[in-house]
């Protein structure tokens, strides 16, 4: 039996330089995507997949993230006094239960691999998920949920992948794979931010991972890779020599909120999907396009 995936790491220490000036004094993870911060959508995705504990790897100026996932007594009190029960209940119901969040600081911006390594003591000796909150995935069944189901079938380490045009591969981690079994395939190679001519395929790593705890050993001694940063992809490449890695081409659409186009696309996509307002928003967009 594969051990249950109970914990998730959310690296939220980055500066968000691609979406300045919006992120000058607001963490990029707190930028609203329709009616809630981006990171809230990611936490919802993880909760749907059965995650019980969240490890946020934060940096300086990120305290609004921990405030967001805490009670807001003055606000709740004011809503209660004003009889705004619907809003009050929404705030109270959206919180993961007390004690289910940990916050660790990544003291220096040494890269994604280093950020994940900072969570090692809280994760301990069990498999865990990593969700990059830059990436939002809209799907019928949440992306991480699909990955957990794949993990229950094949075990090992699982990475979510999606096709990108070849001229964009150099912005991502890219995999090579063996024979597909449905939408799951064994990974045979992976490389972080390859030049187009060296990319082993057009399948990019989309920022969702299920990893075995042995990854921390690989991260501990990991040297700097692409961009001078300690890369998670390099550590996974090392672990691949000892453990099985599978990719899942998930069902759903992913948005890279770290870029201005991706962020705008995500905002529109989530607004258009809203049960109450989606129809009105479609009318607004159509009018603007005329
Ligand atoms: C990170 C990962 C990369 C992955 C990407 C997904 O890169 O290192 O493998 O493809 O996220 O968004 P970053 O966007 O932090 O440069």
For 210-227, what is each residue's pLDDT tens digit?
999 999 999 998 888 888
Predicted confidence (pLDDT) per residue in 90-136, tens digit: 998 888 888 999 999 998 889 999 999 999 999 999 999 999 999 99
Model confidence at 16: pLDDT above 80: no
Is 0.75 topped by the overall pTM? yes
CA distance 135 to 175: 18
Q: Is 151 within the bounds of a domain?
A: yes
Ligand 1, atom 7, lies closest to the CA of 172
Number of domains in the chain: 1
pLDDT for residue 22 = 82
The better pLDDT of the pair 228, 160 is held by 160
Task: Give percent above pLDDT 90 in the chain.
Answer: 84
Q: Is the pLDDT of residue 81 over 80?
A: yes
94 in a structural domain = yes
Query: Among all chains, which residue has been given the structure tokens 């300690």?
Result: 230
- Kind of pairing, strands 36-37 and 32-33? antiparallel
pLDDT at 225: 87
Q: What is residue 183's predicted lDDT score, i.e. its pLDDT? A: 95
Q: Which among 207, 219, 237, 245 is the best mutation to test ligand 1's pocket, defined by most ligand atoms within 8 Å of the CB?
A: 207
Cβ of 173 less than 6 Å from ligand 1: yes
The DSSP string of 201-219 is -SEEEEEEEEE-TTHHHHH
Q: Give distance in angstroms: CA of 72 to centre of ligand 1.
A: 33
Backbone dihedral region of 113: left (phi > 0), alpha (psi from -120 to 50 degrees) or beta? alpha
Q: Any bridge partners for residue 277, and if so which?
A: none
Which residue, judged by its Cα, is nearest atom 13 of ligand 1? 172
**Best of 134, 190, 191, 255 for a ligand 1 pocket test (most atoms within 8 Å of beta carbon):** 134
Output the average pLDDT for the chain.
Answer: 94
- 1 belongs to a structural domain: no
Rounded to 10 degrees, the C-alpha dihedral 103/109/113/118 comes to -30
Q: Which domain holds residue 285?
A: 7-289
Asked if residue 2 is part of any domain, the answer here is no
C-alpha separations of 81 from 26, 86, 88, 205 in Å: 30, 13, 10, 48
Decide if pLDDT at 145 tops 80: yes
112 ligand 1 Cβ < 6 A: yes
- 1 has a pLDDT exceeding 80: no
Two structure tokens written together for 161: 């992948």
How confident is the model over 60-68, as a mean pLDDT? 90
In tens, the pLDDT along 266-290 reads: 999 999 999 999 999 999 999 999 9
Nearest Cα residue to atom 11 of ligand 1: 207
Stretch 67-88: mean pLDDT: 94
The continuous run of DSSP H or E covering 232 comes out as: helix 232-239
pLDDT at 12 over 90: yes
- 204 pocket-lining for ligand 1 (C-beta < 6 Å): yes
Mean pLDDT for 65-81 is: 93
Q: What is the pLDDT of residues 163-205, one digit of tens each?
A: 999 999 999 999 999 999 999 999 999 999 999 999 999 999 9
What CATH number should be reported for the domain holding residue 86?
3.90.550.10
Segment 202-209 shows an average pLDDT of 97
Residue 28 CB-density burial (10 A; 0-12 exposed, 13-18 middle, 19+ buried): buried
Q: State the angle between helix axes of 38-48 and 143-154 in degrees (0 to 180), rounded to the nearest 10.
A: 30
2 has pLDDT over 90: no
């Amino acid at each position: 039996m594969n051990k249950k995936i109970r914990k998730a790491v959310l690296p939220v220490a980055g500066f968000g330089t691609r979406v300045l000036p919006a992120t000058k004094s607001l963490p990029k993870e707190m930028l609203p995507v329709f009616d809630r911060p981006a990171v809230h959508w990611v936490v919802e995705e993880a909760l749907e997949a059965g995650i019980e504990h969240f490890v946020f790897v934060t940096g300086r100026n990120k305290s609004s993230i921990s405030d967001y996932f805490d009670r807001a007594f003055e606000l709740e009190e004011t809503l209660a006094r004003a009889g705004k029960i619907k809003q009050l209940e929404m705030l109270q119901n959206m919180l993961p239960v007390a004690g289910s969040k940990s916050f660790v600081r990544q003291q220096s911006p040494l890269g994604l691999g280093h950020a994940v390594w900072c969570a090692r003591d809280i994760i301990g000796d069990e498999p865990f998920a990593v969700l990059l909150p830059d990436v939002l995935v809209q799907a019928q069944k949440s992306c991480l949920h699909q990955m957990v189901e794949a993990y229950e079938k094949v075990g090992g380490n699982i990475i979510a992948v999606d096709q990108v045009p070849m001229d964009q591969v150099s912005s991502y981690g890219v995999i090579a794979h063996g024979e597909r079994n449905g939408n799951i395939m064994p990974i045979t190679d992976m490389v972080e931010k390859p030049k187009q001519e060296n990319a082993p395929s057009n399948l990019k790593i989309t920022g969702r991972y299920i990893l075995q705890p042995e990854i921390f050993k690989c991260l501990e001694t990991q040297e700097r890779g692409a961009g001078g940063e300690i890369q998670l992809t390099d550590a996974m490449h090392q672990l691949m020599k000892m453990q099985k890695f599978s990719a899942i081409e998930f069902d759903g659409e992913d948005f890279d909120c770290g870029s201005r186009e991706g962020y705008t696309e995500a905002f529109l996509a989530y607004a258009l999907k809203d049960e109450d307002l989606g129809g009105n928003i479609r009318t607004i967009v159509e009018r603007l396009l005329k």
